[in-house]
Amino acid sequence: MSVGEASTDGGKWLDAHYDPVAGLHTFSSCVALADLSGDGDSRLVLGDLGSAGSGMKLKVYRGTVLTNESSLLDLPAGLVSFFMDLHEPRIPAVAVASGPCIYVYKNLRPYFKFTLPGLEINTLEQDVWRQVREGQIDPSTLKEMLESLRTSDVPLSARSLHLLSLDVEQAEQFVHLHKQQPIRRQTVITCMGTLKKSTADEDGVSCLVIGTESSHVFILDPEAFIILTKMELPAPPTRMDVTGQFDVEFRITVACRNGNIYILRRESDRPKYCIELSSHAVGLVRVGKNVVVGCTDESLQGFTQKGKKLWRTVLPAPITTMAAMDLPTRGFQGVLVGVASCEVLLFRHKNLLSSVRMPDAVSSICFGRYGREDGTLIMTTKGGGLMVKILKRTAAFEDRDGAPGPPQAQSIRLNVPKKTKLYVDQTLRERESAPAMHRAFMMDLSRLRLAAAKAMVKVLECSLTPVSSGVGQPLKINAVVQGLGPAFKLTLNVQNTAACRPVMDLAISFQYDQSLYRVRTPFLRIPLLVPGIIYPLETFVDCTSDKGVSDIIKVFVLHGGRSAPLLTAHINMPVSEGLTLN
């Protein structure tokens, strides 16, 4: 199914708002919808990445207007809204992950900052920095030693790595500036998700789940902000999806930078299942119990939660972003895929349901309850625009190429007659004496093979075939009959198939029913046969009967001094259609 077939429908969406110059630069992982004031009016919370590493902001929209804005210290890697306590009124907190920290906002005010624990520092690295601090070595030696450490695959701290990137004069300054402070090695957060603590309620308390550059996944307690669980992955995670409850059972699906997807479960701190993708994942969305993954090879793939591949569909352009479209009131679940060809495609399973044309490529998609409207689609574009669309109440999505399952024709009942007694008896007999029947069949098959082999041997012994492969004279003959009758032209093509030896002293004679045919030259001498060349020998056959019957003419290739023919060819003569001459 191509995209061209699917109507680009504005028919299902109402254009609620479009601000092409909203100046929003963000990704789907940094967009959330949350009822921040607890009045049933959902707000849009965005972590704006700003431009060129500055102007990072946390922005809150209500309806069509920006109501709140606060600066962020670092580029946001993820933004989620979650309930961190059971206090009334139920107001969710907003967590923004940037660098090694998570900033938690309550009522849009900074509330808590969580920093990931530092990583272990290599003792050698510590040692060389101590030496430089005590003046035992100079900065250039330090740099050399750090370089050798790095080449031996030791993970270095950010400060050492920065030093290695500087040239000599800058390095000296840098060392003097920093040598007094102890070195720390910090990891950074790459992705974040939420996991309900103990209840599946909409407003249940949630834990934060974070993936780090050091290939770990941490689950944080929402109230005390302590690490509840630490899990390890083979590669740094880039995207994550979390489902379940922390106290009951949960699954964390993580797309990693090595191109694999790992599925973590409650009881183990190692991945339980692994999906090896053919190309890197750019989007990971859960639909019901399945996981839909968008890949860099312009494909969308569906997997079960145990990592079994269900389907794969090819997209018209590279994927820019993905989001889930979940509409529980209508029992609808789908996946929204933003593609580089300025479109947003809606898929249910592998079927394309509709596509929305956009004025610009989409950089983030968020679907959910915004304001008081449940089915709101919020998109930001590459150029910084903000677009809000509302799903029509009457919009219905239908799969255009049939739902998975048997085709329609299969359910039509055929008029099959009832099973006869004979049939039933036969099936019973087959069931009871299957081994005997099999044996009998195998015996007959062997006999048939034996008979065929015997016949073959006889044919070869009597040279009844038109091809002779004997050691003496390997020959081949074929015959062509031309004409309508009663006179036929018979052309015999004789070929010596030997590699280099010519054949001499051959002749051809015919055997036929003399009451039907007369061969003008019943005996032909064959000249010397040079290997490989086809010699056509012609003779004429007259049909002497006017009964309209035909017969076989046998052709023998004979060798001087031998009684058995070398070859035999049977020519099925056609019925003479002309008048007989005599």
Point out which residues bind other proteins (CB under 8 A): 14-17, 63-65, 329, 370-374, 388, 390, 392-394
> Minimum distance between the CB of residue 388 and other proteins, rounded to whole angstroms?
6
Asked whether 360 and 382 are in contact (CB, 8 A), the reply is yes
> Minimum distance between the CB of residue 400 and other proteins, rounded to whole angstroms?
24
HEC string of 367-436?
EEEEECEEEEEEEEECCCCEEEEEECCCCCCCCCCCCCCCCHHHHCCCCCCCCCHHHHHHHHHHHHCHHH
Q: Of 291 and 387, which CB lies nearer to other proteins in the complex structure?
A: 387
Angle (CA) 268-270-274 rounded to 5° is 115
> Minimum distance between the CB of residue 383 and other proteins, rounded to whole angstroms?
21
Q: Of 131 and 333, which CB lies nearer to other proteins in the complex structure?
A: 333
Residues with Cβ within 8 Å of 25's Cβ and at least 6 positions away in sequence, in order, are 48, 49, 50, 51, 363, 380, 384
> Minimum distance between the CB of residue 379 and other proteins, rounded to whole angstroms?
14
HEC string of 53-86?
CECCEEEEEECCEEEEEEECCCCCCEEEEEECCC
Q: Of 297 and 374, which CB lies nearer to other proteins in the complex structure?
A: 374
Distances (CA, A) of 201 to 89, 185, 220, 248, 387: 15, 39, 19, 13, 30
Q: Of 105 and 370, which CB lies nearer to other proteins in the complex structure?
A: 370
> Minimum distance between the CB of residue 62 and other proteins, rounded to whole angstroms?
9
> Minimum distance between the CB of residue 86 and other proteins, rounded to whole angstroms?
25
Distances (CA, A) of 25 to 29, 57, 336, 366: 12, 10, 19, 14
Q: Of 17 and 162, which CB lies nearer to other proteins in the complex structure?
A: 17
Asked whether 505 and 499 are in contact (CB, 8 A), the reply is no
Q: Of 370 and 512, which CB lies nearer to other proteins in the complex structure?
A: 370
Return the bridge partners of 446, or none. none
Closest CA to 235 of 253, 261, 265: 261
DSSP state of 269: S
The four Cα atoms 422, 423, 425, 428 give a dihedral, to 10 degrees, of 170
Asked whether 58 and 105 are in contact (CB, 8 A), the reply is yes
> Minimum distance between the CB of residue 246 and other proteins, rounded to whole angstroms?
32
Asked whether 395 and 12 are in contact (CB, 8 A), the reply is yes
Asked whether 333 and 324 are in contact (CB, 8 A), the reply is yes
Q: Of 10 and 404, which CB lies nearer to other proteins in the complex structure?
A: 10
> Minimum distance between the CB of residue 336 and other proteins, rounded to whole angstroms?
19
> Minimum distance between the CB of residue 386 and other proteins, rounded to whole angstroms?
12
Q: Of 11 and 404, which CB lies nearer to other proteins in the complex structure?
A: 11
Q: Of 323 and 390, which CB lies nearer to other proteins in the complex structure?
A: 390
Q: Of 180 and 329, which CB lies nearer to other proteins in the complex structure?
A: 329
Q: Of 15 and 432, which CB lies nearer to other proteins in the complex structure?
A: 15
Q: Of 52 and 396, which CB lies nearer to other proteins in the complex structure?
A: 396
> Minimum distance between the CB of residue 38 and other proteins, rounded to whole angstroms?
15
> Minimum distance between the CB of residue 63 and other proteins, rounded to whole angstroms?
4
Residues in the chain: 582
> Minimum distance between the CB of residue 397 and other proteins, rounded to whole angstroms?
16
Instruction: Give the residue carrying structure tokens 């550059």.
Output: 213
Asked whether 537 and 508 are in contact (CB, 8 A), the reply is yes
> Minimum distance between the CB of residue 287 and other proteins, rounded to whole angstroms?
22
Residues with Cβ within 8 Å of 386's Cβ and at least 6 positions away in sequence, in order, are 17, 18, 19, 22, 24, 61, 378, 379, 380
What is the spatial distance between Cα 342 and Cα 320, in angstroms, rounded to a whole number?
A: 9
Q: Of 11 and 402, which CB lies nearer to other proteins in the complex structure?
A: 11
> Minimum distance between the CB of residue 394 and other proteins, rounded to whole angstroms?
7
Asked whether 319 and 299 are in contact (CB, 8 A), the reply is no
Asked whether 376 and 368 are in contact (CB, 8 A), the reply is yes
What is the spatial distance between Cα 74 and Cα 99, in angstroms, rounded to a whole number?
A: 7
* Total Cβ atoms within 10 A of residue 438: 10
HEC string of 92-104?
CEEEEEECCEEEE
Q: Of 390 and 555, which CB lies nearer to other proteins in the complex structure?
A: 390
Return the bridge partners of 211, or none. 191, 217
What is the spatial distance between Cα 4 and Cα 188, in angstroms, rounded to a whole number?
A: 43
What is the spatial distance between Cα 82 and Cα 217, in angstroms, rounded to a whole number?
A: 18
